[in-house]
Amino acid sequence: MSQIIKVSSLSKSFGAIHAVDNLSFAVDKGDVYGFLGQNGAGKSTTIRMLLGLIQPTMGDIEIMGLSLRRHHREIMRQTGAIIERPDLYKYLSGIENLKIFARLSGQKPDNRKLMDQMEMVGLAERATSKVSTYSQGMKQRLGLAVALVHQPALVILDEPTNGLDPQGIADIRRLILHLSHDLKRTVFVSSHLLSEMEIVANRMLILDKGKKVVEGTVSELLDPSRMVVQLETSNNMQAIDEIRKSKWAEKLNQNNSESQILFLLNREQVPELAADLVKMGIGIISIQPRHSLEDYFLSLIGSNQHVSHTAN
Amino acid sequence: MYPILRIELLKIFRQPRTYIAFVAIAAIVLLVQLALYMDGEQWLSFGMQSLTSNFSIEGKILNGYLVCFVVLQTLLIHVPLLVALVAGDLVAGEANMGTLRLLVSKPISRVRLMLSKYCAALAYTILLLIWMAILALLISLLLFGVGDLIILKSDEVVILEKSDVLWRYFAAFGYAALAMSAVAALAFMLSVFAENSIGPIVATMSVVIVFTILSTMDIPIFNAIKPWLFTSHMIGWKGFFDNPIQYHAVLKSALVLLAHIALFVGVAVFVFKRKDILS
């Protein structure tokens, strides 16, 4: 069984709103699969459907070769998840929360193993403190411990770095890589922080308005021959007008602005572009290639209004 | 189902708010007992004026059994609120806290989860009634002693020999537990439709108040529905203090309450099984 998740023609509507629209993808065993999209793109709705929390309007989900509709319990025995915020029972201690969810996952709680789990997420010293006294980062780490308490083969993480400080984000990254490389788990992780996915994911899907924009390996999607080029001129608006009249119009990003002009080009086209710009009388200040996934994402989505950036 | 029930009980009894009901009951019962201990004879002679003007009454009328009856009559009106506090929180409280999505994504069936939650609410309700029985009956008997029980009703006076009273209290508390379980089932059902517990608690109390008013109003148009309102049967525990007891009426009332419990829990499970968890 190489495919751990197989999603076919999945749709979910809430009244007239199509939260997820005819989505299909597959996640292979051992993948760290990045599920990318802006806020409201349909990531959490898809994840809730993968966990059986909401029923799809149409489409099928198979996990580990089993139909989710018919084998929810069997699948959930081998699946661990964090869904949006890691909300837990605040009036109980961390270890008590872990014990509860171990039992619910069909495990007989073993105190030593539970403490090992707390150790793994760096909470051993605060294991007996009430969750109400935990910081956001600690709650997130406890949420991860809860998701992993029954050693699931598939780990689904919905925005696991939300609300974390840079150190917390780095810890989660390390943990995802540890799960994948050392423990050989399949990890499905959603994020709107594109730079996160560049570091941890080997495959990814970009979702926009509930629809798949692109899917592939991170190396394919970051093909160095396809690059985002940023142009800075003495008068960007005037330059955009001129470029729109030329053959380069189709290479322009849709939502360019006074502050930046972006093109999606092949590497060998850059000198030709520079020469043509000079011929058009455009005062070039700089032409810079940008390789990040974020730029790639922007070029696909055609908007940068809601995309978040990370500092590290 | 037992492991889930244990977890549900742990969650209920580790929340400080659960003990509000136990403290409130203790405070009310002890205050009533203290008041009757200090001023009970005077209060009783005033209440029994009409009876003592025509009859000669001997013996200790203000005894533990009478005090327990007074406490029961006073408290059972308010206990539905205390039951709704916990039962109305069972699903809506988890939705509000954000733990419901985690629970439902675990390998347990939604039906089992819901039945475990209701059983936990039942356990809480029964414990509340046992607590009430210990305070209202046991402490009253210790403070006021044993005696025949005289109950003044609107059209008759019931006198029960002391040897014939204790079992009636056990039966009455058992029946009261059934009545409160119906309230718990209603709050539990409403809890499925809400994402915070205030709504179901207020809605439960509103239903209990409206139905109680309908049950007690002597207007012909309501007579057809009265036998079907669960609130009409919540005071069925008083039937155990009739002489002779109308077993048929008590049993009928108990069956109506059981039917309501089955209906409320059934609707709760049916709706939750199909519900999209968006909280």
Taking residues A276-300, what's their average pLDDT?
78
For residue A32, what pLDDT band results from cuts at 50, 70 and 90? Answer: very high
**B108 close to A (CB below 8 A):** yes
What does the CA dihedral B175, B181, B183, B187 come to, rounded to 10 degrees? 180
Least confident stretch, A7-11, A128-132, B49-53: B49-53
Q: Which residues of A touch B274 (CB under 8 A)?
A: 55
Q: pLDDT at position A305, please? A: 40
Q: How many residues does chain B have?
A: 279
- Closest chain A residue to B4 measured between Cα atoms? A104
Q: Which residue on chain B is closest to A55 by alpha carbon?
A: B276
pLDDT of residue A295: 66
**A157 close to B (CB below 8 A):** no
pLDDT at A311 over 60: no
B159-185 in b/e burial notation, b at 16+ Cβ within 10 A? ebebeebeebbebbbebbbbbbbbbbb
What structural domains does chain A harbor?
Answer: 3-219 (3.40.50.300), 226-290 (3.30.70.920)
The model's pTM is: 0.83
What does the pLDDT average to over B22-32?
A: 92
- For residue B244, whether the previous peptide bond is cis, meaning omega lies within 30 degrees of 0, is yes
Tell me the count of A-B CB pairs closer than 8 A. Answer: 74
More confident residue, A254 or A103: A103
Using the Cβ of A97 and the Cβ atoms of chain B, whether some distance falls under 8 Å is answered with no
Closest residue in chain B to residue A78, using alpha carbons only: B107
**Alpha helices for B152-197 (secondary structure H):** 166-192
Over residues B121-170, the pLDDT tens digits come to 999 999 999 999 999 999 999 999 998 888 887 777 888 888 999 999 99
Measure in Å the smallest separation between the Cα of B20 and chain A Cα atoms: 16
User: Pick from B105, B109, B276: which is nearest to A81 by CB?
Assistant: B105
**Is residue B186 within 8 Å of residue B204, measured between CB atoms?**
yes
Among A250-264, B103-117, B181-195, name the one with the lowest average pLDDT: A250-264
Q: What is the pLDDT of residue A312?
A: 33
Residues 6+ apart with CB under 8 A from B170: none
Mean pLDDT confidence for A77-101:
92
Q: What is the pLDDT of residues A215-246, one digit of tens each?
A: 888 877 766 667 778 888 888 888 888 898 89
Q: Do B277 and A146 touch (CB under 8 A)?
A: no
Give the residue with greater pLDDT, B200 vs A110. Answer: B200
Say if the Cβ atoms of B102 and A83 lie within 8 Å: yes
Chain B residues inside the 8 Å CB shell of A48: 101, 276-278
- Which two three-digit tokens encode residue A209? 């308005």
CA distance A41 to A59: 18
Which of A48, A53, A55, A78 to mutate to test binding with chain B, by most B CBs within 10 Å of its CB?
A: A53
Angle at B140 between CA B136 and CA B142, to 5 degrees: 135
Alpha-carbon distance of A58 to A77, in angstroms, equals 25
Residue found under tokens 């050392």: A182
Whether residues B15 and A91 touch (CB distance < 8 A) is answered with yes
- Asked if B101's CB is within 8 angstroms of A48's CB, the reply is yes
Mean pLDDT of all residues belonging to chain A: 86
> Of B125, B136, B126, B120, whose CA–CA distance to B84 is shortest?
B125
Report the gap between the CA of B111 and the closest CA in chain A (Å): 12
Mean pLDDT lowest for which of A6-20, A264-278, B247-261? A264-278
Give the model's confidence band at B50: pLDDT under 50 very low, under 70 low, under 90 confident, else very high. Answer: low
Cβ contact (<8 Å) for B277 and A91?
A: no
Q: Do A73 and B108 touch (CB under 8 A)?
A: yes
B109 touches chain A (CB under 8 A): yes
From the number of C-beta atoms within 10 Å of its C-beta (0-12, 13-18, 19+), residue B188 rates as buried
pLDDT value at A149 more than 50: yes
pLDDT of residue A153: 94
What's the pLDDT band for A5 if we cut at 50, 70, 90?
very high
Mean pLDDT of A151-169: 88
B133-144 per-position pLDDT tens digit: 999 999 999 999
Q: Which of A54, A76, A100 sits opposite B7 (nearest CB)?
A: A100
Q: Kindly list the residues from chain B whose CB atom is less than 8 angstroms away from the CB atom of residue A103.
A: 3, 6-7
Region B32-43 average pLDDT: 86
Residues 3-32 of B with CB under 8 A from A: 3-4, 6-7, 10-11, 14-16
Of A74, A81, A103, the CB nearest to B7: A103
- Beta strands A154-158 and A79-82 are parallel
A307-311, B78-82, B219-223 — which is least confidently predicted? A307-311
